[in-house]
Every structure is written in structure tokens, then in C-alpha cells.
Amino acid sequence: MIDFVGKKNVFIILSIILVAASLVSIFTKGFYLGVEFLGGSEIILSVNDVVDEAYVRNVIKNLAPEFENARVTQIRSIDDPKDITKFSIVVSPLDEKGKLRVYSGEEKDMVSKKIVEAFKEKGKVANVIGFNETSGYAAKEIKNLTWKAVVFTLLAILLYITLRFQFVFGVGAIVALIHDVIITLGFFSFFNYELNVAAIAAVLTLIGYSLNDTIVVYDRIRENLKRARGKSIENIVNDSINQVIKRTINTSLTTFIVIFVLLLFSGNSIKPFAFGMTIGTVVGTYSSLYIASPVVIKWIKR
Amino acid sequence: MKENKVRGVITLIVIALAFVSLLWPTSNGYRGFASLFNRIRLGLDISGGARIEYKVDIDKSVENPSQIAEDVWTVLRNRLDMANYTEAVVKQTFREENTFIIVEIPGATDTARAEQLIGSTGILWFGQVVDETSTNPKIDPELTNEAKREKAEWLLDREGKKWYLVKKEIANISSLKLVSPKIVEAIPQVDRNNVAGYVVTFKMDKAYVDVFKRITEKLYVPEELLNQGGIAYKQALKKRLAIVLDNRVQFAGFVTAKITDGSALIKGNFTLDEAKQLAAILKSGALPARLEKVSSGWVAPLLGKDIIEASIKAGIVGVVIVLVYMIVFYGVMGIVADIALLYNTFLLLGILAVTGSILTLPGIAGIILTIGTTVDGNIIIYERIKEELRKGSSVKAAISTAFSKSFITLFDANLTTIIAGLFLYYFGTGTVKGFAITLIIGVLGSLFVNLIVSRFFLELFSGGIKVKSVGKGGAKA
């Protein structure tokens, strides 16, 4: 038997520190946003040869700091000849304050020239045929998920758990959920990890994972509460956690394995997803053991 | 065991259906293992798609051009979401003071099909028909003069056969204009008076109800007058209402009742498809500006082919490690968990194929969560079985008790996830909506797999469980 409940204050303090640190980082430092969110400048490049994205990425990566994380996609118009490949290169140049800035007309000429020269060095003829400002499409889509939607989702979960368990359990699950999301986002902010569409998918997945994990622990507490009337609530919670700990460890470990392998070996734009899920799995497991359950104890006692 | 036979039959039928849906012949050309994915529509990020660039044609006199571009974005986003193309990307770009909108639609390499999905690129407006002809007015100076006199323009009808002379300002009153009204509801319905035809009913947003009421007051023609003929009828012919879209008259007809609540019925001898399309365009919103196609073509996978290949390999390695881990940890039961995991993955892919949902990276995130919940469900059940065995139950009894006790856990845990998914689907657009779909399908699938499929295989392999548990735990058989 491991004493999960006895040291609960230590872990609650640890969580408060982590959440506070995450919030500070999110609000002062902010996020390193991917081009899908930030938008930026879109350069349409045409190369008189058949090359792929990896080649282009390699040629342009050292031109300027923002080119290192450029999104390179091949595009083709209906009437383009076969021996020409065209690419859309999106870069998000930042100013000293880390805000997105727009290239001036002169800069556009300079950047275009640099790209053409870089290709010339490799013996390829390239032309910049378009230079646009582009908005981040994902920002708009996420904007549509307003606070109202978030609040309604949480209320629905609260209502369901209240009906199936007790009100305090609903509160505990939601506290754990918010805790997990804030800390995961905090990691993105603190480690300057790119927040892109894939990372948002990871955060959404985390919501499902965290809820699932918390409910399994709660279910045991509910079952044991019915059986052992005389026992103290601390003991019941502690017994319950001990009964499901093997399952929690095995589940978390299996999910963690898939995600961690993905984090090690996946390509650049998928890494934020794997990173978010890795943090999310650890935090989600921790919170259902040390946050969601202790919260319930405190409330039931009163 | 009769019950278990039923489970076995269901297990076989469901997976057979999933494979039929996956392997049904299609024109897509993967071979070998990859042919399993032929029927799954892949998202822009994985497979690329059609790309069309439009210039937003905003009137120079307009006060807030960026708001109009924003509204165009919303309308297109809604149209694509409604056509179930939640994974399409709509983005704005700017150059030389002009706004462009780029629409990228997954899977569709045929840009004509993509354009059809986007629908009308013109403005929707209501007008007054003052005359009609079947000769081309451009070659008849008389008709051209008439248009000038009436301050109206000649527009072709839907079928391209008839020309209508249409005024934008009803009865020449400048405030009686109805351009790009917001329509909250539009439904195609069977025409009760005409067996083969369809009508479209629609309801306007509150903001336009008043203008529409005043317009219908001006154009109102009592029904008895239409049957009289003569001069009165000729007068009435100049009071018809037209709905114009893409510079074509979609509908021209009499207003036989004053419409005070903004809901009306359009009768145009539509076929079902025409009625559906008109309803979709009305409902998804009228564009506040005309779109001019600048270029069309395709876009390669947004993530890059190299990145996808590396990530798929990593994913497979991860899953194989999980499969081995489960067998090492749970023995025979681990094999059942592995079967359940693979079963649910193929089931999910089969459902994606049959429903025509689009698989994207966020969708794959949903699948990974599904793998998690399937394995989790199995682990919950196995730990219960072990517990029961330690208490001294027989294997059969342990399995039975474990399932009835685990049911509540799985039900509550999965249903809360589904509730979260439903809300994400309802409130989200684009990517978020797509993720919610895979999440809901996957969690439902994992519930089915845990309760039916795993149970079938566990009962089938229960002999194997007995030997190991007794040896290890020392429980009485």
C-alpha cells in the first residue's frame, strides 16, 4: 500500500506552483505560435526542375532566422508545365519584441534575391513569382471555439458527473482537467515549443485522456464508498487508488510509449503534437491520483 | 455457452463489414498493405488537395472592407463545414491592397468538383422583374434601350433560356434593396401541388424582416387578379419578385401574400438536386462580395511527404512495443488485448471509409486516444479478473463478475469523453470538428470492442488464463 493521500498537501502545493508558473509564462512570455496561427509572408517560388519540399527546405533554411521554421508545400496550377515545380513558402518574421512583422517592399526584394541566389549556387534556376501577406487560418478556427463553448462543455461534464457520482466529483474532475490543460500549455510556453494545429489536437486529446483517467479512479471510490460506511474517507480514497494503480500505470505507460517514440522519431511539424501528448499523459495521470481525488476528500469532509 | 456464440458471431460480422468497407474496389491505386487505406479520404495535411485562389471583389466605396473579407471567410467556412469538408482550409492573403481567399480542399484533385463544393461565388439579391424575352437582348437595340429606360439589367435565367429585365431597387425606391440578406433557415420540400417538383422554404434573419415586408407590400398581387388576364394581368407581370445569384435569375414569381415574418416559399419547378443546392446556398449565407477566381490547381501534403513517412514509421514502432508489452505483462489476456487493439483500429478505419470522413493529423490523434482507451478498457477488466481470482473465484465466474463490475466504469469514463466530443463538434469549426468526429467514433468503437469482442476472446481463451493464474496467485480452482 502506498500512501497517496497522506502527502496530499505537498502535491497540492506542487500543483499550485506548477499552475502558477505556467500562467506566468503564458501571460508574460506567451507562445511561440506556428505559421498556421501567426500567418506571415507567403512566397510563391517556382523552380525550373523537379525537386521536393525537403530540398527546398534545405536550401532556404539558413537565409534568415525565420526560414528555419518555414512551412514549405508544393503547389501546382492547372496549366503549369511538368518540368517546373512550384512551392508555397510561409515564413513568420518577428521583430525584437517577438511580434509578427511585415516585410517592407525593399526587404521583399532582398529576400527574393537571396532565395534566387541560394538556388543558383546549387545550379538551379528559381523565380519568386508571388509575395503575399497571409493570415493564420487556424487562429480564426480556434477563435470560433469561444469561452462560451468551453464553459458549456465544462458545465455538461459537471452535470453528467454530478448525476452519476456526486457534485464534488464533478468539481474534482474539472479542476484536474483545467490543471492539466494549463500545465501542458505552460510547458509549450516555457520551452518555446511551437504551438501549431497538431499541438491543439494534442491538447484536445488530453482532455479526453484526463477525463477518462479521473473517472476510472472515481469509479473505484464510488464503489468503495458504498461498501465501507465506517471507514474514514481518507482510507477509502487511498484504498481505491491502490486498487487501480496497476491499471493506471499500465495504461499510462502504453500510451506514453507510443507518444514518446513519436516524439523521438517524427518529423518537425508533428513533434509539437507528440510533445503535448507526452506532457499531457504524465500530467493527466498525476492529476487523477494526486489532485482529482484529494479535492474530493476535502469537500466530502465538510 | 450460447451467449458467447452470439458475441462471436457479432464480432465476426462487424469486422467483416469493416474490411468490406475498406477493401471495396476503388480507383485509388495503392497496393499491398497500403491498399487498406484506398477508401479512406485523407486530409490536406496528409494527402494534399485542390487549391483555388479567389480575389475578393470589394466595392471601393465600402466603409469597412476588412469586415467584408472576414464575412466572406465565414460564409465559405460554413459552406465547407456543412458539406462535411471540415478539414478544408480557408485562408486570407493580401497583396497590393487586395484581399484574396485561398480555399484548399482535401482529396479533391479535380478542381471542378472543388468549385462545386464551394458553391456560388456571386452575390445573392432580390429584385423586381419588369419584363422578359426569349431573344438575346444584346443583339436587339430595342431591348437595350428598354433596360436603360427602366434602369434595370437583362439577366439570364437558371436554364439559360429566358432573359429577365431585373431592377435591384424595388419600385425605384432606393431603400428597398435586398442584397446579401442573412437567411437563417432554408429547406427543400416536395411541392404539394406539383407531383414531380420541389419548392424551397426559407426564413430571413430578424434584421431583414422589415425590408422584406415592405418589398412584398409593394409587389403584392392578389391571386384572383392572376386568373383574370387582361390589363390587370399585364400590370401584375411588372411586379414579379426575382432571386438573383451569380447574375442569373434563380427564381421569378408573383408575391401572392404580404410576408410579415420573413419566411417565404420559392416555387420554381426545381428538381430535388436544384432545390437542395439553392437551399444550401441560401442557408450557408449569401456572399457579401463577388469572388473572382484567380488560379486553381493543387497543393501537396501540408506536412511534407518526408515528415509523414518518418512519423508513420515511428507510430508503427510504438504500437508494436505496446503489443509486446501487453503480452509480457498479461500473458494470454495480453494477446486478447492486442487483438482488441487491432480490431478497434480496423473498425475505426472501416467506419471512416464507409462514412467518407476525412482522416487528418488531428484525426490520428483521436485514433491514438482510441488505442489508449481500448487498451485501458482491457486492463481495467483484467485487473478485475485478477482480483476476483485472488478472492478464489473460478475463471468463468471471475470473467463474468469482472465484466459486470467494469461495465459501469467503462460506461461513465467513455460517456464523459463522448460528451466532451459532442460539444467540441457542436461549437468547433474545421480542425476541431474533424477531431471530434474521430474521437466520438473511436470511443464508441472501443466500448463495443471492450464489452463484446474482448469478452468473446477471453471466454474462448479462458482455459489459458486458468493455468497461469493458479500457478502464480495460488488461488483455489
Q: Which residue of A has its CA nearest to B319?
A: A258
Chain B residue with Cα closest to A78: B297
Name the E strands within B158-218. Answer: 163-167, 178-179, 183-190, 198-204
Residue B310 has pLDDT above 80, yes or no: no
- Quick: pLDDT tens for B330-381: 888 899 999 999 999 889 889 888 887 778 777 777 777 787 888 889 999 9
Residue B229 has pLDDT above 80, yes or no: no
Listed range (A124-138, A285-299, B226-240, B315-329) with the worst mean pLDDT: B226-240
Residues whose CB falls within 8 Å of the CB of residue A196, separated by 6 or more in sequence, listed in order: A33, A34, A35, A36, A37, A138, A269, A272
**Chain A residues with beta carbon closer than 8 angstroms to that of B409:** 215-216, 219-220
Residues A102 and A189 in one domain: no
Amino acid at B262: G
- At B214, which amino acid appears? R
User: Could you read off the pLDDT of A100-137 as tens digits, one per residue?
Assistant: 888 888 888 888 998 998 999 888 888 898 888 888 77
Locate the chain A residue with the closest alpha carbon to B341.
Answer: A254
Are A232 and A292 within one domain? yes
pLDDT of residue B474: 41
Of A69, A104, A134, which marks where a domain is finished?
A134
Task: Say if residue A206 is in the same domain as residue A265.
Answer: yes
* Joined grid coordinates for residue B442: 473511436
Q: How far is B103 from chain A (nearest CA, A)?
A: 10
Cα separations in angstroms, A132 against A40, A41, B96, B105, B289: 8, 6, 9, 20, 21
Q: Between A68 and A182, where is the model more confident?
A: A182
Q: Which structural domain range is residue A70 located in?
A: 40-134
Average pLDDT (B36-58) is 82
Residue B470 has pLDDT above 70, yes or no: no
Task: Give the one of A73, A152, A201 whose C-beta lies nearest to B361's C-beta.
Answer: A201
Q: Are A64 and A140 in contact (CB under 8 A)?
A: no
Provide the grid cell at B18: 469493416
Which residues in chain A have Cβ-Cβ distances shorter than 8 Å to B322? 254, 257-258
Assess whether pLDDT exceeds 80 at residue B195: no
Mutation to test the A interface, candidates B93, B344, B387, B406, most A Cβ within 10 Å: B93
Judgement on whether residues A157 and A259 belong to the same structural domain of the protein = yes
Q: Which residues on neighbouring strands pair with residue B204, listed in sequence order? A: B183
For testing contact with chain B, the best of A58, A72, A75 (most B CBs within 10 A): A75
pLDDT, average across residues B140-152: 83
B306–A198 CB contact, under 8 Å: no
**Shortest Cα distance, chain A CAs vs residue B226, angstroms:** 49
Q: Which residues of A touch B369 (CB under 8 A)?
A: 205, 208-209
Cβ–Cβ of A262/B371 closer than 8 Å? no
In terms of domains, do A153 and A296 share one? Answer: yes
CB contact under 8 A, B408 and A219: yes
**Contact B318/A261, CB-based, under 8 Å?**
yes
Q: Beta-carbon neighbour count of residue A199 at 10 Å?
A: 28
pLDDT of residue B247: 80
A47 and A162 both lie in a single domain: no
pLDDT score at B29? 57
- Is A121 in the same domain as A157? no
* pLDDT over threshold 70, residue B285: no
Alpha helix positions (H), B174-252: 206-219, 223-228, 230-237
Last residue of a domain, one of A109, A134, A159: A134
Residues A44 and A18 in one domain: no
Shortest distance, CA A91 to any CA of chain B (angstroms): 13
Distance from CA of A211 to the nearest CA of B (A): 7
- The pLDDT, as a whole number, for residue A190 is 94
* Residue partners of B436: CB distance under 8 A and separation at least 6: B421, B422, B424, B425, B428
Which CATH number characterizes residue A70's domain? 3.30.70.3220
A276 vs A1, residue with greater confidence: A276
Contact (CB<8Å) A52/B77:
no
Give yes or no: residues A234 and A178 share one domain: yes
Residues of B in contact with A133 (CB under 8 A): 93-95
pLDDT for the residue numbered B30: 59
Find the mean pLDDT for residues A175-196: 93
A156 and A18, same structural domain?
yes
The three cell numbers of residue A203 are 491538447
Higher pLDDT, B103 or A230: B103
Mutation target among B417, B437, B444, B450 for the A interface, most CBs of A within 10 A: B417
**Nearest-5° Cα angle at B363, B359 to B365:** 145
Residues A100 and A57 in one domain: yes
Which CATH number covers residue A146?
Answer: 1.20.1640.10
Q: Do B313 and A265 touch (CB under 8 A)?
A: yes
Listed residues A90, A110, A134: the one ending a domain: A134
Cell of B372: 489508449
- Please state the pTM of the whole predicted model: 0.76
Min Cα distance A199 → chain B (Å) is: 9
Looking at residue B422, its amino acid is L
State pLDDT tens for residues B198-219. 888 888 888 888 888 888 888 8
**Residue A156 shares a structural domain with residue A269:** yes
Kindly provide the residue ranges of all beta strands, DSSP E only, lying in A126-173, ordered along the sequence.
126-134
CB contact under 8 A, B298 and A76: yes
What span, in angstroms and rounded, lies between the C-alpha atoms of B385 and B467?
14
Structural domains counted in chain A: 2
Contact between chains at A53 and B409 (C-beta distance less than 8 A): no
- Chain B closest-CA separation from residue A97 CA (Å): 24
Q: What number is the ipTM of this complex? A: 0.81
Tally the C-alpha atoms within 13 A of residue A17's C-alpha that lie toward its C-beta. Answer: 6
Cα(A282)–Cα(A290) distance, rounded to whole angstroms?
Answer: 12
B62-69, long-range: CB within 8 Å, 24+ apart, which pairs? B65/B99, B66/B99, B68/B288, B68/B289, B69/B99, B69/B101, B69/B289
pLDDT at residue number B468: 46
Residue of B101 and A147 predicted with greater confidence:
B101
